């Protein structure tokens, strides 16, 4: 595995080289396009966009830390200047960073454990398996047993990654020219500021432990949701220890019978949207590797490093916006999009058009009635939200994402993709009304949850 470049000079040089080289090549392509036919110009843009994606994946993946996470999150942004036929490939290459973290030898990880916990591993653990059971952008997870017999998961940061992340966060602004070039309608600086704050928080495992404990408290003794307890006395800034939960991963869940997949999917829906509704927390990384189907039928949720505690007034506005879409209230949709910050120039947008845009792209969520999702449906819905062929493309390219909504939109988009991969079926619109309009429970799981809430 390539060594993580730690020095500010080395990491800044990589950022600077990436931006300068790609900017020069992009400018050269645009100059050459003046003498090309529209078809050849589009082909040249596509080639340049994919070259940029390749270099982003290569450079950010090697750098790990915030650089890798920046690439992951940027994969959810729509780059309208990338030709339609290549856009999804571009985003997929950035998204691939999520699963591209190579393993770091245990020798280096042992030193982090020793420095943070003090003493030898034998002093803290009765057994410690040295092969990681999971790897992510800033750390690896191991299985161990405490002296009191508890099985635990031990999440350890890569050595040197803290310094690397801090440098990356200082350098993140250097990516602004590339982001602006590919997505001119986006408030790139505000988005980068939001990313810097969220990723900086993710580096601190003590803060993640606080987030984790808050979520665990919110779902304690829940009938079908499980959040492992944190071993607070042994968790530090670079080491996070939680209860270990045995369960089936996403690959196994996808192979289950239809009814079991549908149950799993509804539980996940109720977890993510319930977390937003009741705790005002947007979980920004609903990656399917972060939840397991436990032996007792509960679904276990993991990893609360990338989260956003949202303002109550802002979430009230988001709920009012969703309710306006469901009600077919075009003026209300326009008002709330403008108020929340999605429309930089509100007078340039037709209320009827923005209502049609949201109702069409979010049909699965805003329309009642049973619907079984699949990857093709999700892909078509995403194209309505991003493709130049979309009838709403002119409106979309002039809209932006409010920084506070970035992780909320990321949660929704990635979770929607997960539901498609599961080929999950439900009356999603009626489920959504429980969270956007406080409608009564619509399923047996909803009634179980309501009874649990009434008793807590």
**Tens digits of per-residue pLDDT, 63-116?**
555 555 566 556 555 555 555 566 666 666 666 665 555 567 899 999 999 999
pLDDT at 286 over 70: yes
- Classify the phi-psi angles of 47: left when phi > 0, otherwise alpha if psi is within -120 to 50, otherwise beta: alpha
Judge if 315 and 447 occupy the same domain: yes
Distance CA 188, CA 172 (A): 11
Residues contacting 118, CB < 8 A, separation 6+: none
Whether 61 shows a pLDDT value over 80: the answer reads no
Look up tokens 């800034």; give the residue. 237
pLDDT for residue 438: 93
Joined tokens for residue 335:
């008002």
Q: What is the pLDDT of residues 90-102, one digit of tens each?
A: 666 666 665 555 5
Mean pLDDT, the chain, rounded, equals 83
Which residue range forms the structural domain that includes residue 394? 309-455
Contact 45, 82 (CB under 8 A): yes
- Selecting among 78, 168, 262, 285, the annotated active-site residue is 285
Q: Which long-range contacts (CB under 8 A, 24 or more apart) does 231-235 make?
A: 231/146, 231/150, 231/152, 234/117, 234/124, 235/205, 235/206, 235/209
Average pLDDT of 302-310?
Answer: 89
For residue 1, count other CB atoms closer than 10 A to its CB: 11
Instruction: Note whether 182 and 322 are same-domain residues.
Output: no
In sequence order, the 6+-apart residues with CB closer than 8 A to the CB of 362 are 325, 381
Would residue 251 count as lying in a domain? no
The pLDDT score that the predictor gives to residue 21 is 66
- Burial class from Cβ neighbours inside 10 Å (0-12, 13-18, 19+) for residue 120 reads exposed
Q: Residue 132 gets which letter from DSSP?
A: -
Sorting pLDDT into bands at 50, 70 and 90, what band is 393? confident
pLDDT of residue 413: 85
pLDDT at 194: 64
| pLDDT surpassing 80 at residue 192 | no
Whether 255 is covered by a domain: the verdict is: no
* Phi, psi dihedrals of residue 102, rounded to the nearest 5°: -80, 160
Domain count, the chain: 2
pLDDT at 383: 76
Per-residue pLDDT, 310? 93
- Alpha-carbon gap, residue 78 to 387, rounded angstroms: 9
pLDDT of 5:
47
Token representation of residue 316: 């009230």
| Neighbour-count burial of 356, counting CB atoms closer than 10 A to its CB (0-12 exposed, 13-18 middle, 19+ buried) | middle
Give the pLDDT score at 1.
Answer: 42
Residue 33 located in a structural domain: yes
What mean pLDDT comes out for the span 288-315?
Answer: 92
Q: Are residues 178 and 326 in the same domain?
A: no
Whether residue 64 contacts residue 161, with contact meaning beta carbons closer than 8 Å, is answered with: yes
- Residue 52 phi, psi (nearest 5): -65, -45
**Per the domain annotation, does 259 fall within a domain?**
no
Residue linked to tokens 């992951």: 72
Look at residue 219 in the predicted model and tell me its pLDDT. Answer: 97
Distances (CA, A) of 79 to 16, 82, 228, 332, 405: 21, 6, 37, 28, 18
- The residue out of 187, 214, 245 marking a domain boundary is 187
Q: Which of 152, 187, 222 is a domain's end point?
A: 187
- What per-residue confidence (pLDDT) applies to 325? 97
Domain assignment present for residue 444? The answer is: yes
How far is 273 from 436, CA to CA, in rounded Å? 9
Pairwise CA distance, residues 69 & 219, whole Å: 28
Q: Residues 355-367: what's their mean pLDDT? A: 94
329 is a catalytic site residue: no
**What percent of the chain stands above pLDDT 70?**
72
- Supply the pLDDT for residue 339: 97
Q: Which has the closest alpha carbon to 324: 335, 333, 316?
A: 333
Q: Final residue of a domain: which of 145, 160, 187? A: 187
Based on the fold, state whether residues 182 and 316 are members of the same structural domain. Answer: no
Give the C-alpha separation, 264 to 82, whole Å: 36
pLDDT grade for 261, boundaries at 50, 70 and 90: very high
CA pair distance 443, 268, nearest whole angstrom? 14
Whether 325 is covered by a domain: the verdict is: yes
Cite the beta strand spans of 364-435 per DSSP E. 371-372, 425-426
Residue 333 lies in a domain: yes
Confidence bin at 47 (pLDDT 50/70/90)? confident
pLDDT surpassing 70 at residue 315:
yes
Among candidate residues 288, 245, 222, 291, the one with its CA nearest the CA of residue 453:
222
- The per-residue pLDDT for 60 is 63
Structure tokens at 238: 């670079």
Distance CA 201, CA 309 (A): 12
Please report how many Cα atoms fall inside a 13 Å half-sphere around the Cα of residue 350, on the Cβ side: 7
Of the chain, the percentage scoring pLDDT greater than 90 comes to 50
Q: Are 222 and 449 in contact (CB under 8 A)?
A: yes
- Domain membership of residue 12 (yes or no) is yes
């Amino acid at each position: 595995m390539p060594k993580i470049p730690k020095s500010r000079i080395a990491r800044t040089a990589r950022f600077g080289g990436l931006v300068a080289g790609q900017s020069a090549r992009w400018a050269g392509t645009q100059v050459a396009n003046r003498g090309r036919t529209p078809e050849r110009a589009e082909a040249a843009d596509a080639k340049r966009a994919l070259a940029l994606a390749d270099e982003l994946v290569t450079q950010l993946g090697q750098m790990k830390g915030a650089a890798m996470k920046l690439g992951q999150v940027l994969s959810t942004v729509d780059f309208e200047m990338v030709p339609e036929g290549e856009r999804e490939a571009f985003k997929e290459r950035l998204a691939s960073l999520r699963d591209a973290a190579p393993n770091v030898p245990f020798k280096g990880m042992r030193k982090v454990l020793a420095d943070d916990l003090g003493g030898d591993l034998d002093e803290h653990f009765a057994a410690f398996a040295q092969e990681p059971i999971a790897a992510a952008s800033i750390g690896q997870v191991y299985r161990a047993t405490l002296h009191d017999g508890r099985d635990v998961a031990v999440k350890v940061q890569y050595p040197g990654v803290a310094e690397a992340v801090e440098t990356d966060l200082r350098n993140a602004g250097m990516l602004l020219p590339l982001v602006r070039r590919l997505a001119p309608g986006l408030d790139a600086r505000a988005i980068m500021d939001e990313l810097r704050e969220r990723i900086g928080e993710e580096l601190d495992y003590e803060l993640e432990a606080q987030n984790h404990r808050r979520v665990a408290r919110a779902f304690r003794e829940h009938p079908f949701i499980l959040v492992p307890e944190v071993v607070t006395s042994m968790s530090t800034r670079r080491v996070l220890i939680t209860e270990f939960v045995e369960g089936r991963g996403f690959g196994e869940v996808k192979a289950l019978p239809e009814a079991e997949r549908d149950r799993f999917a509804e539980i996940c829906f109720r977890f993510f949207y319930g977390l937003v509704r009741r705790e005002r927390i947007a979980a920004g990384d609903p990656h399917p590797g972060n939840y397991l189907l436990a032996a007792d039928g509960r679904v276990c949720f993991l990893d609360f490093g990338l989260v956003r505690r949202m303002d109550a007034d802002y979430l009230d506005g988001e709920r009012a916006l969703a309710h306006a879409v469901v009600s077919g209230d075009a003026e209300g949709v326009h008002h709330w999009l403008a108020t929340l910050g999605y429309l930089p120039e509100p007078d340039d947008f037709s209320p009827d058009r923005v209502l049609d845009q949201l109702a069409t792209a979010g049909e699965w969520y805003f329309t009642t009635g049973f619907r079984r999702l699949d990857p093709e449906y999700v892909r078509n819905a995403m194209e309505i939200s991003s493709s130049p062929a979309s009838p709403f493309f002119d409106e979309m390219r002039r809209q932006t994402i409010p920084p506070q909504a970035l992780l909320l939109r990321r949660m929704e988009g990635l979770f929607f993709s997960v539901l498609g991969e599961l080929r999950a079926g439900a009356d999603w619109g009626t489920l959504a009304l429980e969270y956007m309009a406080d409608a009564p429970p619509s399923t047996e799981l909803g009634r179980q949850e309501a009874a649990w809430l009434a008793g807590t």
